[in-house]
Amino acid sequence: MLTIDIVYRFIKLHPIETTLISLASIITIISFILQFKSTSIQPTVLSAQTSQNDTVSINNSQPTTENQSPTTLSVEVSGAVVEQDVYEVSPGTRLKDMIDLAGGLSDEADKRYVARNYNLAKYVGDQEKIYIPYIWDIVNGTFVEQKRILEYLQPLYLQSSQNNQSSLASTKPQTETVLTLSINTASLEELDTLPGIGPVTGQKIIENRPYISVDELLSKKVVNQSTYDKIKNNIDL
């Protein structure tokens, strides 16, 4: 109560000084509030700007998928095709499409070899080279088919015949008569099963037909004596 009375007497005796002190106090409080708000907002703005800059930096550093996979493929087609060249194609192009772009197989192409060994349904890749062999590439031995592929492609009846012959040869005594082939009618594949007879000699046997006797294999010089001795028990007319 004593303090309040002193303040009341001071205000009553010094009204002007009291007013000025009050105004100064109000101004000080307002300035303090404004300064406090300014310092609290600025970090928030800076934080937002920093976050935005970081986001831009991250986005710029991420690689784009467009740069990882080419939109076009460069593929070379050469050999026994109509138009040898490097072709620009889109991803998903197949080998058959590439041969068609090159004008198809030429007349010198070994079409049977291509049919047996080339998967026309496969997708081609960038910077790939496709070579189609000529007929003389196969004849000269530049391209050689694997034996297992040729065995797989043999007709089922021939495989069965070969299996039967092998089975009979292993189970029958050597003194028994073995299966014989006609040198006038046997196919190249059948002649190839004879001991010492390969595709080349088999073709010579076919080209020198007909035969009056099996001895003409010697007189026509189709086989030599050692080969004839190996097959004479396996052949007839």
Q: What is the mean pLDDT of residues 22-36?
A: 80
Regarding whether 94 and 160 lie in a shared domain, the answer is: no
Regarding whether 164 and 142 lie in a shared domain, the answer is: no
Q: What rounded mean pLDDT belongs to the chain?
A: 77
- What is the residue range of 8's domain? 2-55
The total domain count for the chain is 3
User: What's the CA gap between 231 and 197, in Å, rounded?
Assistant: 9
Answer yes or no: is pLDDT of 55 > 80: no
CA atoms within 13 A on the CB side of 99: 22
Residues of the chain above pLDDT 70, percent = 66
N- to C-terminal Cα separation, the chain: 150
Answer yes or no: is pLDDT of 171 > 60: no
Specify if 173 maps to a domain.
yes
Answer yes or no: is pLDDT of 26 > 90: no
pTM over 0.75: no
Q: What is the mean pLDDT of residues 32-44?
A: 65
Q: What is the CATH number of the domain that holds 93?
A: 3.10.560.10
Answer yes or no: is pLDDT of 157 > 60: no
Regarding whether 227 and 158 lie in a shared domain, the answer is: yes
**What tokens appear for 24 in the block?**
């100064």
Q: Which of 3 and 205 is assigned the larger pLDDT?
A: 205
Answer yes or no: is pLDDT of 233 > 60: yes
Residue type, 21: I
CA angle 206, 210, 211 (to 5 degrees): 105
b/e map 20-48, b = 16+ CB within 10 Å = eeeeeeeeeeeeeeeeeeeeeeeeeeeee
Specify if 209 maps to a domain.
yes
Predicted local confidence at residue 12, as pLDDT: 67
Residue-wise pLDDT for 57-113, tens only, equals 445 555 554 456 679 999 999 999 999 999 999 999 999 999 999 999 999 999 988
Predicted local confidence at residue 60, as pLDDT: 54
User: What's the CA gap between 184 and 51, in Å, rounded?
Assistant: 92
Cβ proximity of 168 and 182 under 8 Å: no
Domain stop point among 146, 171, 202: 146
Regarding whether 167 and 215 lie in a shared domain, the answer is: yes
Q: Which of 11 and 211 is assigned the larger pLDDT?
A: 211
CA distances from 1 to 4, 6, 8, 10, 18 (A): 5, 9, 11, 14, 20
Specify if 67 maps to a domain.
no
Q: Is 190 exposed, middle or buried (0-12, 13-18, 19+ CB in 10 A)?
A: middle
Q: Which of 182 and 86 is assigned the larger pLDDT?
A: 86
